[in-house]
Structure 1
Amino acid sequence: MTVARAIRERVPPLTAIPLPRAVDRRLLDQRWPVRELAAPPPGSGLAPVLGDAGAPVLGHAIDSMRFGLDFALHRYAKYGPVSWMGAFGQRIVVLAGPDATQAVLVNRDKAFSQEGWRVFIERFFHRGLMLLDFEEHHLHRRIMQEAFTRDKLAVYLRQAAPVLRAGVSAWGGDRRLRLYWLLKRLTLDVASRVFMDMPPGADAEALNRAFVGTVRAATALVRVPVPGGRWAAGLHGRRVLERYFTEKLPSKRRSGGADLFSALCHARGDDGAEFTDDDVVNHMIFLMMAAHDTATITSSAVAYHLAKHPEWQERARAESLALGGDLPDLEALESLRTLDLVIKEALRLTAPVPSLPRMTVRDTEVLGHYLPAGTLCNVSPNTNHYSPDHWTNPHAFDPERFAEGRREDKSHRFAWMPFGGGAHKCIGMHFGTNEVKLLMHEMLRTYRWSVPEDYRLKWDYVSLPVPVDGLTVHLKRLR
């Protein structure tokens, strides 16, 4: 029996994948010819990477965006941790599971570069920290770290707290609403205040449209600026953001403010190195996007699971109410143990960044499979987060899996990786986690919220995950 035939015969049944429409089931279960990515060098002892191209031109791009997690898990079950697929007019090697992830993100031989990200978002997030490589990345990260010390984090959270309290309180109560969009506006207000010392609401709509345009452009199927298309909207959004931050930069250079924008303008490395004006603008565009988009996704996921599991909502609320009415500081937030467990589980079930692209800069191997230089790769955190080898009943909501005594996240270094890993692990992960905790604290002390028992949140994976219906909840004010 050939390897290709063996793979075809071990395709998993789709009974575990919730596809009510027959057309969806047929799309995901479509069989394509299995082929090698490239022949390994003679005598290397390496195996070829197997996979399939999918539909002409589009490949599996539509499947990946439409089915998200289900598509990733189906491919992993079919091909294993190293495979390739066609998408966006090219071949992409998918590296899934903790072991494959570790080989790529630890990157001991520096065979994997951030060029993979640049393929998708270079035009919109030019020279953001995540797009830099090797020594240049190390230099920029070392300078930027000055803006993310624990002391700075405490200041940022003190600035965010009144914005979140006022914003959450203004929602009203005893009504149904699409929570995702309220959270997105609120996290942008926080980013504006903390990162730029800008009052909530100022220029918010224009900035929000610009960020949405740049993020969604990354997965545009038509990658030319056709009027009305996502690529054109992304390019327009980038111009808006460049103009905005460039205009603000001179005053930030002159000021000694406590906001992140000012901190980047004045940050110095150990050797005295500092950012140029272009560096500051590029980093601000990337950090503003990353801060408010990932915080919105995570807080939406947390709110959903607390609505579906009211016993956890009440447990978390008791801890928040026990803090009293003062705005919590960093130490108070760290005492909210239940929220900590729930946030970690929400991040496991819905990774805010579900794919981490890379490019091979030289011939290399992963788990004994040959990858030639110039191969576009994608690491899949979602697959790791649902691995039955590392998680008990991985599809279940079970925050206690992160509690001391279990710590399933310690089963492998890359079993839980919502913030990435290796040299490019998210520099703002502590701020982001505490911002979500602060936001949920304010919701818990102000409202009780619920969803119908049969409600299931569906995520749109066109770019970063977004609730298809905006996360419709019933919100009731406590007092």
Structure 2
Amino acid sequence: MNFTAIRERVPPLTSIPLPRGVDRRMLEHRSPVAELAAPPPGSGLKPVLGDAGPPVIGHAVNFMRFGIPFGLHRYETYGPVSWMGAFGRRIVTLSGPDATQAALVNKDKAFSQEGWKFFIERFFDRGLMLLDFGEHHLHRRIMQQAFTRDRLEGYVRQMGPSIRAGVGRWPTTGSNRLYFTLKQLTLDVATQVFMDMDSPDDAGRINRAFVDSVRAGTAIVRHPVPGGRWAAGLHGRKVLERYFAAELPGKRARSGSDLFSALCQATSEDGERFTDTDIVNHMIFLMMAAHDTSTITATAAAYHLAKHPEWQERAREESLALGDELPDLGALDRLSTVDMVLKESLRLVAPVPSLARKTVRDTEVLGHHIPAGSMVGISPTVNHFAPECWTDPMRFDPDRFGPARREDRSHRFAWMPFGGGAHKCIGLHFGTSEVKLLLHEMLRRYRWTVPAGYAAKWDYVSLPVPVDGLPMHLEAR
């Protein structure tokens, strides 16, 4: 795969502003290229090549700060299978559709979810994404009862009034920082739809605990130093555990339309149900997954619609055609322009830019030997810019998802914002419905713009967020 054309459109590392207090010389540190491990004699396999980066932290800061340019730079340097130093470890990186497919299809069950545990186990212990093989299959089968079409219809009915009221309160004077505005709204929606929580005091406390828990996973200092992100995350986890444990008996006792109640009542075809501990763990994880990814996706879509007003008007025309009634799931399915804009935004800004795994036995990917016990990072972001899959991949072009082109079908793993394989996001339809509702209400009520010449810069410290919150001017229609 040749990435030369792409790199001409991607800012070089030296042109990107660095976080305050970070010395560029440290980020440009070069260490010798080395093999991860020698392949078994006679296997015919190649070693995985890479470099450790700066001492101790490795390439962690580069990876979190530079995102897509860094991923493309590593891909062109080393190819689809390489390793790098980060967080005090050697991490194998699998990039491009073919390498990604090998890991996510996981035919020999060599790739375990253990990789996630290093980053988030202390904060999202035994969430669905951290479970493996048979246990994961069992939990997913039970949880699927909370994401049936009927349940999704109910969640959309619950979300609609809250989103319409929330969007309607946004100010049209001055410049909004849209990311923070959307984040508060998606948190409010999640606490209502997922937990049926009405108390503003409780909601604010729970929301803060989720934010702290999410940011803690990529802390460089991974000890509970007072005032640090790791300590804040541990405290947030305790707050969430106490809240869900206290509310759980009431949810068990009565049937409700919120997700918390759905998990308490969920029963598989064989009569299997979640334990109380299972429900607490799954609720903490699902709340995080729901509001963070929806916020990022809605922010990215709104940004691109601001930069491309012709697409904003095209999407608005479809939304207005639905009339004034709150849309149901079927109406949202008819918003084809919003759907294409959403998919293109997910391609350009994947909400989860790296998927963590760990090998439980020796395996190989594209002829490279990966030993047991290796930490592995799978990179959707590189796949989303692969030139053999996408036409002019750096350009915002929602029509690439239209029926005449369907570039996302060029490879099974060309487009994978929701992951893939057995661990593909179970809430993807919930998330896309929420973002469609958000965009629909924005389109009905406002026209919006960003400052002239503005280009968003994304910070990948935990999940991608605009470093300045995305300044946005809203004009009431």
Q: What is the CA-CA distance between 1:466 and the residue it aligns to? A: 1.1
> Which residue of the partner structure matches residue 418 of structure 1?
417
SS at match of 2:304: helix
Q: Which residue of 2 aligns with 1:6?
A: none
> What is the rounded CA distance, in whole Å, between the counterparts of 2:47 and 2:462 in structure 1?
30
**Alpha-carbon offset, residue 389 of structure 1:** 1.3
CA distance in 2, matches of 1:299, 1:209: 20
Cα distance, 1:193 vs structure 2: 1.3
1:108 matched to which residue of 2?
107
After the TM superposition, which residues 351-362 of structure 1 pair with which residues of structure 2 at under 5 Å, given as runs? 351-362=350-361
Give distance in 2, aligned partners of 1:386 and 1:369. Answer: 23
Compared CA separation, residues 367 and 21, structure 1 to 2 (3 A): closer
Question: Whole-Å Cα distance in 2 between the matches of residues 459 and 164 of structure 1?
Answer: 25
Superposition map of 1:27-426 within 5 A: 30-199=29-198, 201-426=200-425
In 2: Cα distance, 1:145 partner to 1:15 partner? 42
Change (3 A) 1:146 1:16: closer
Deviations 1:393-446 (A, max 9, x none): 110000000000100000000000000000000000001001000010001101
Shift of 1:28: 5.8
CA distance in 2, matches of 1:194, 1:312: 30
**Residues in 2 aligned to 1:476 and 1:313: alpha-carbon distance in whole angstroms:** 13
1:210·1:238 contact (CA, 8 Å) conserved in 2?
yes
Unaligned runs of 5+ in 1: 1-9
Contact kept, 8 Å, 2:27 with 2:61, in 1: the verdict is no
Per-residue CA deviation, residues 95-132 of structure 1 (Å, 9 max, x unaligned), is 00000000000001100000000111000000000000
What SS class does the counterpart of residue 315 from structure 1 fall into?
A: helix
Residues 21/318 of structure 1: CA separation in 2 closer, same or farther (3 Å cut): closer
Question: Which secondary structure does the structure 2 equivalent of 1:203 belong to?
Answer: helix
- Structure 1 Cα separation of the partners of residues 259 and 344 of structure 2: 29
The answer on whether the counterparts of 2:32 and 2:51 sit within 8 Å (CA) in structure 1 is: yes
Give me the TM-score of the superposition, normalised by structure 1.
Answer: 0.95
Tell me how far 1:13 sits from its aligned partner.
Answer: 7.3
The question of whether the paired residues in 2 share the 8 Å contact of 1:58 and 1:86 is answered with yes
Cα deviation for residue 165 of structure 1 reads 0.3
* Alpha-carbon distance change, 228 to 235 in structure 1, aligned in 2, over 3 angstroms: same
- Classify the secondary structure of the residue corresponding to 2:91: strand
What are structure 2's unaligned runs of at least 5 residues? none
Partner of 2:11: 17
Contact 1:191/1:288, CA 8 A, preserved across alignment: yes
Does residue 428 (structure 1) correspond to residue 413 (structure 2)? The answer is: no
CA contact (8 A) 1:27 1:63 kept: no
Q: 1:5 is matched with which residue?
A: none
Which deviates more, 230-239 or 19-28? 19-28
* Comparing 396-405 and 200-209, the one that deviates more: 200-209
SS of the residue 1:175 aligns to: coil
Moved more, 198-207 or 269-278: 198-207
State the shift of 1:192 in Å: 1.1
d(CA) in 1 for partners of 2:80 and 2:106? 17
SS in 2 for 1:84: strand
Name the CA shift for 1:367/1:158 in 2 (closer, same or farther; >3 Å): same
Contact 2:197-2:203 at 8 Å conserved across structures: no
TM-score using structure 2 length: 0.96
CA offset digits 1:154-174 (Å, max 9, x no partner):
000000000000000011324
CA contact (8 A) 1:190 1:200 kept: no
Shift of 1:391: 0.6
* Alpha-carbon spacing, 1:346–1:16, altered in 2? closer, same or farther (3 Å): closer
Q: How far is 1:229 from its partner? A: 0.6
Q: Deviations over 1:304-339 (max 9, x none)?
A: 000000000011111111111111111111111100
Task: Check whether the contact 2:48–2:82 (CA below 8 A) recurs between aligned residues.
Answer: yes
Report % sequence identity.
70
Cα distance in 2 between the residues matched to 1:27 and 1:440 = 41
Tell me, in whole angstroms, the C-alpha distance in 1 between the residues paired with 2:216 and 2:7. 34
Shift of 1:227: 0.3
Is residue 26–residue 54 contact of structure 2 (8 Å, CA) maintained in 1?
A: no
8 Å CA contact 1:68–1:461 kept in 2: the answer is yes
